[in-house]
Chains A and B, each alone.
Chain A
Amino acid sequence: QQPVQSPQAVILREGEDAVINCSSSKALYSVHWYRQKHGEAPVFLMILLKGGEQKGHEKISASFNEKKQQSSLYLTASQLSYSGTYFCGTRVHTGTASKLTFGTGTRLQVTL
């Protein structure tokens, strides 16, 4: 079953913060975050493994709440380059069952 992302779309001014949420009805092993610009391939941002860790680099970070099967992506002091569609991909097993199930995406637009 497809994870649910919220919000569906958000418009920010440069420098503002945003939070994108990803929620699954299944027990998750890992959550993978990607950003995709129009007409381009999804670009990997970060992976969060079962264990409830929080990761981040530069001004983008993410958390994984294993009990709630939810992950959140935090964008701080947004830049124009952050514009795009953000997808969470969820994995429910390790080992051979390695596919990702993606949410419907969150469209982020950063304006001046």
Chain B
Amino acid sequence: DTGVSQDPRHKITKRGQNVTFRCDPISEHNRLYWYRQTLGQGPEFLTYFQNEAQLEKSRLLSDRFSAERPKGSFSTLEIQRTEQGDSAMYLCASSLKTSEADTQYFGPGTRLTVL
């Protein structure tokens, strides 16, 4: 039983560059979430998919951020024109909506450093 995987694990980029992260959820999980975590803080919700449909997007998310889940399996998160304030850990989580429980399992994260 493989867990959530993310690639790359670390990314260093220069300000103004575009970056793309990938998340592979647990097989057959129909929900996929992206969160951002900065040092000393809890994860902060960015966006969420059910199958291929993007159902919610944080109001805090600027239009430089875009996410896709084209076939309802893996997802990509792209950040355009990166800024130093984008430096953070980007976490992906997946879940299988059954009955009332909807437990989210997190991947190892992608640590982004913007120079």
Nearest Cβ distance between residue A4 and chain B, in whole angstroms? 11
**By the criterion CB–CB under 8 Å, are A42 and B101 in contact?**
no
Q: Which residue of B lies closest to A42 (CB)?
A: B106
Evaluate whether A102 and B42 lie within 8 angstroms (CB atoms) in the complex, with A42-B106, A47-B103 already known.
yes
Are A96 and B103 in touch, CB under 8 angstroms? no
Interface string of A33-58 (1 = CB under 8 A from B): 01000001111100101000000000
Minimum distance in angstroms from A18 CB to a CB of chain B: 19
Number of inter-chain CB pairs below 8 Å: 66
Q: In the complex, which of the residues B33, B48, B97, B108 contacts A40, with contact meaning CB atoms closer than 8 Å?
A: B108
Considering the chains assembled together, what is the distance between the CA atoms of A103 and B41 in angstroms? 8
Q: Please pick, from B41, B95, B97, B105, the residue contacting A105 in the complex, using a CB distance under 8 A.
A: B41
B100 CB contact (under 8 Å) in A40, A94, A100, A105:
A94
Structural contact, A104 and B42, CB atoms closer than 8 A:
yes
Residues of A within 8 Å of B, CB-based: how many? 25
Asked if A44 contacts B55 (CB within 8 A), the reply is: no
How far is B104's CA from A102's CA once the two chains are assembled, in angstroms? 13
- A96-B104 contact, Cβ under 8 Å, with A87-B43, A103-B42, A105-B41: no
Which residues of A are interface residues toward B (Cβ below 8 A)?
2, 30, 32, 34, 40-44, 47, 49, 87, 89, 91, 94, 96-105
Give 7 CB contacts A-B under 8 Å: A2-B42, A41-B107, A49-B100, A49-B101, A97-B56, A98-B50, A103-B42
